[in-house]
């Protein structure tokens, strides 16, 4: 069963920002954590940006699927544009766009649990799927209705707030990255120490074996004389 949470029309440039904000808002209301909220917002805004740029608009529908856990957040971005000329090439990773990025479709694949794309000369349909976190509470009908109410009552903030929010996300991500890097460095050092220890151990064993061999030779010689 699919329950529609919200639909955002993509007509003007600012609708890309609105779609991004709505995606983050919905992700937060469904119990996704900060990093997943950013993943969802980024993937949606990239695909919506494509719909605006290559198909002159379309719409994005947010729906919730599943009557038992795990539930799924589905985001369908639909347009009636000319279709993606060479999807296989884009997916191969060898595609380079005019902006030098070409990370929209590929990026969405990396960020989402699952992506399905249907594209023909009459339009493009991109379905992004994310499994709701195991720790998030199950969204039953009352909870669902509450989320829909919140979405209607809390319209997204302006572009300036969006920039602020994106910067906040970036700072958080960069700080995490630095932490991971220093963890990695630490682990690397530990690994080096362990390796050194193993090498020393082997050298010692070799020496012992050599010693034993020589003792054995001496013994045989002594016995034969
Ligand atoms: N909705 C769409 N309709 C028609 N063509 C599309 C659509 N979405 C993507 N494409 C085509 O697929 C290509 C790859 O899109 P993708 O978002 O991966 O990179 P890009 O838009 O070229 O670059 P970037 O988004 O990084 O600036 C586009 O250049 C465009 O030709
Ligand atoms: Mg793009």
The parent domain of residue 223 ranges over: 157-225
pLDDT digits (tens, 9 = 90+) for 29-72: 999 999 999 999 999 999 999 999 999 999 999 999 999 999 99
Residues with CB under 6 A from ligand 1: 50-51, 54-55, 79, 81-85, 90, 97, 99, 101-106, 124
CATH of the domain at 49: 3.30.565.10
Check whether 101 has a pLDDT greater than 80.
no
How far does Cα 35 stand from its chain's mean position? 8
Together in a domain, 200 and 133: no
Tell me the CA–centroid distance for residue 88 and ligand 2, in Å.
15
Together in a domain, 7 and 31: yes
Mean pLDDT computed over 188-208: 96
Secondary structure of 184-201 in HEC code, one letter for each residue? HHHHHHHHHHHHHHHHHH
b/e per residue 151-171 (b: at least 16 CB within 10 A): beeeebeeeeebeebbeebee
Together in a domain, 152 and 164: no
In the chain, the number of structural domains is: 2
Together in a domain, 185 and 150: no
Q: What is the pTM of this model?
A: 0.82
Q: Which helix (H) or strand (E) holds 148?
A: helix 141-153
Average model confidence (pLDDT) across the chain: 94
pLDDT digits (tens, 9 = 90+) for 116-147: 999 999 999 999 999 999 999 999 999 999 99
Together in a domain, 42 and 86: yes
Q: Ligand 1: which residue has its CA nearest to atom 12? A: 84
């Amino acid at each position: 069963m699919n329950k529609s949470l919200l639909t955002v029309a993509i007509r003007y440039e600012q609708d890309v920002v609105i779609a991004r904000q709505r995606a983050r808002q919905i992700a937060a209301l469904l119990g996704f954590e900060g990093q997943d909220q950013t993943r969802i917002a980024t993937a949606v805004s990239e695909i919506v940006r494509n719909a605006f740029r290559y198909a002159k608009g379309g719409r994005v529908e947010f729906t919730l699927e599943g009557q038992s856990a795990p539930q799924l957040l589905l985001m369908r971005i639909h347009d009636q544009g000319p279709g993606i000329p060479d999807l296989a090439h884009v997916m191969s990773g060898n595609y380079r766009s005019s902006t030098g990025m070409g990370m929209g479709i590929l990026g969405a694949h990396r960020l989402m649990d699952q992506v399905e794309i249907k594209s023909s000369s009459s339009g493009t349909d991109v379905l992004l799927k994310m499994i709701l976190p195991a720790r998030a509470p199950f969204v039953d009908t009352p909870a669902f209705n509450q989320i829909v109410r919140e979405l209607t009552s809390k319209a997204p903030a302006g572009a300036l707030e969006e920039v602020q929010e994106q910067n906040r996300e970036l700072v958080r991500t960069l700080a995490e990255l630095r932490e991971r890097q220093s963890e990695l460095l630490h682990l690397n050092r530990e690994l080096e120490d362990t390796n050194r220890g193993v090498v020393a151990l082997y050298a010692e064993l070799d020496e012992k074996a050599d010693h034993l061999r020589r003792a054995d030779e001496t013994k045989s010689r002594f016995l034969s004389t």
